[in-house]
Amino acid sequence: MVLLFLRQPDKPKLPISNLPENLEVDREEASVDDLMDLIHKETKLPRSRLKLFLASSKTVLLPHSPLQIYDMHDGTRVLVKDLGRQINRKTLLLTAYSGPLFIHILFYYCQTIVYGTTFQHTASQVLAFTLVSLHFAKRIFETVFVHVFYRISVSFYSLYLYILHYWVLSGVFMAYYIYYPACGPAAVAISSLNSDRTASLGGSTAMNVCSSSLSLLSSSMEVEDTSLYFLSAVWIFAELSNFETHLILASLRIRYPRTTYSYTPRLFSDSSRVRALASSSTARITSPFSRTSSMSGLAARRMPKGYGFDLVSCPNYFFELLSWTSVTLITRSFASLLFLVASGLQMWRKAAKKHEMYKKEFGAHYPKFRKVLIPFVK
C-alpha cells in the first residue's frame, strides 16, 4: 500500500470540489482506473474528465495501466485536473467522417432537391464523387479497425470544430460546387422548370452557370481523360501509402508502458515504514517489485520507422495532402482548393508539434535529416 497526496494544478480553470487530500492504494494490484474510481466517489466527476499526472515528473497516468509501472511511493504527489466535458475520440471521428460521406451522396444523387434540376455529371464529377466517397469510407474503416488512440477522449468543444471542418467545408460547401450542373461540355442541364429552353442552353449560359460554381477553369476546359487517369493513379498511391503509415503508427502505439518486474522481499517492516515517512516527507519506501528495464510513464510509443517515416515525421499527413491535391486538380474548384489549404495549414501545425515532440522524446536518437511534413523541405 502507498499513501498518495492529491493536489490540483496551480490556478485550475475548473476547480474540483471535494477532492480528498490523500488516498491509500495497493500499488501492486491497483490500476489507474481504480484510482480514478476512488476520486470519482468523492468528487462525482466522471472518469473521462479526470487527468492524473505525477507532480514531480509531469508523467501522465494513462487509463487502463497498472500503478506498479509508475514511480510511486509513500508521499508521492498526484495532480488531478478536470478536463471539462468530454467526448469519446472514436465517436468524434466517426461522427466527423460519416457526415461528408452522407452529404456527398445526397448532393450527387438528389439533383432535383439540391439544384432544382436534373443533369448528366461530367467525367470529372463522377471521378471526384468516387474518390471522395472512398476516402471518407476508408477513414471510417481506419477509425473502427486500425487506429489505437493515445487519448481515449477529447474535449466536447472539438466536436464543433470537426463539424465545421468536415461537415461544412468538405461536405456542404465542397459538394455543392463540385457537383454543380453544367460545369463542362459533357454536363448538359435538363431543367424540369425550363424544359422548353433546354435546347438553347449554349456556351454562354453554361459559362455563367460554371462561373457561379467557383470553377478554377472555364466550362470549355474540362479535364482530359489522360489527366484523369494520371491523377487517379496519384490518388490511389497516396491513399494506400496513407493507410500503410496508419498501420505502422498503430503497431507502435501501446496502451500503457510495458516492462517486466521481479519480486524482492520488503526492506522495511510496517513500523519502520511509518517512521521513515514521518521523518521525511520525501522518504521513499522500496517496492517489492523492481523494474528490469528503464522507462518513463509517458513512453507509450516507439520511434516511428519505415515507409515514409525515413523522410518526414508525419508521412500520413503528407500522403493525405497529396490525395486531396489530386481531388483539387480533378475538380478544378475553388471549394476544393479552400479545403486543401485549410487542411494543409492544420496538418502542418500538427506535424510541427509532433516533430518537436519526437525530438524531445527520443533526443539524439531521432534522425536529424527528417523533415516535418514535406520531404526535403524544412
Same-domain pairing of 62 and 126: no
Q: Which of 65, 84, 103 is the last residue of a domain?
A: 84
Q: Is the same domain home to 66 and 125?
A: no
Instruction: Give just the sign of the alpha carbon dihedral 263, 76, 62, 41.
Output: positive
Query: Is there a domain that residue 286 lies in?
Result: no
Instruction: Check residue 246 and give its pLDDT.
Output: 96
CATH label of the domain that carries residue 67: 3.10.20.90
Residue in the block written with cell 462525482: 44
User: Quick one: 162 and 24 in the same domain?
Assistant: no
Q: Are residues 166 and 20 in the same domain?
A: no
pLDDT at 222: 60
Is there a domain that residue 265 lies in?
no
Instruction: Find all residues with CB under 8 Å of 48, minimum gap 6, and list them.
Output: 83, 86, 88, 152, 153
Residues 124 and 48 in one domain: no
Question: CA of 65: how far to CAs of 90, 133, 151, 173, in Å?
Answer: 20, 38, 13, 43
The answer on 126 and 37 residing in a single domain is no
Among the three residues 34, 53, 84, which one is the final residue of a domain in this structure?
A: 84
**What is the spatial distance between Cα 170 and Cα 167, in angstroms, rounded to a whole number?**
6
31: Cβ–Cβ under 8 A, 6 or more apart, which residues? 64, 65, 66, 67
Whether residue 373 is contained in a domain is answered as no
Q: Which domain holds residue 73?
A: 1-84
pLDDT by 10s per residue, the chain, length 378: 899 999 999 989 999 989 999 999 998 889 999 999 999 999 999 999 999 999 998 888 988 789 989 989 899 999 999 999 999 999 999 999 999 999 999 999 999 999 999 999 999 999 999 999 999 999 999 999 999 887 788 999 999 999 999 999 999 999 999 999 854 433 444 333 344 444 444 443 433 344 344 565 434 346 678 899 999 999 999 999 999 999 999 988 654 443 333 333 333 334 344 344 334 433 333 333 333 333 333 335 689 999 999 999 999 999 999 999 999 999 999 999 999 999 999 999 999 999 999 998 889 999 999 999 999 987
Within 10 Å of residue 164's Cβ, how many Cβ atoms? 11
Question: Among residues 63, 84, 105, which one ends one of the domains?
Answer: 84
In a domain, 94, yes or no: yes
58 is a domain residue: yes
Give a yes or no: residue 267 inside a domain.
no
Within a domain: residue 288?
no
pLDDT for the residue numbered 270: 42
Residue 287 domain-assigned (yes or no): no
Return the residue matching grid coordinates 536529424.
368
Residues 44 and 149 in one domain: no
Within this chain, do residues 69 and 183 fall inside the same structural domain, yes or no? no
Please give the backbone phi and psi of residue 155, each rounded to the nearest 5 degrees, phi first: -60, 140
Is 108 found in the same domain as 45? Answer: no
C-beta of residue 241 within 8 angstroms of C-beta of residue 315? yes
- Counting the structural domains of the chain, the total is 2
Do 318 and 245 fall within a single domain?
A: yes
Q: Are residues 115 and 242 located together in one domain of the fold?
A: yes
Q: Are residues 195 and 118 in the same domain?
A: yes
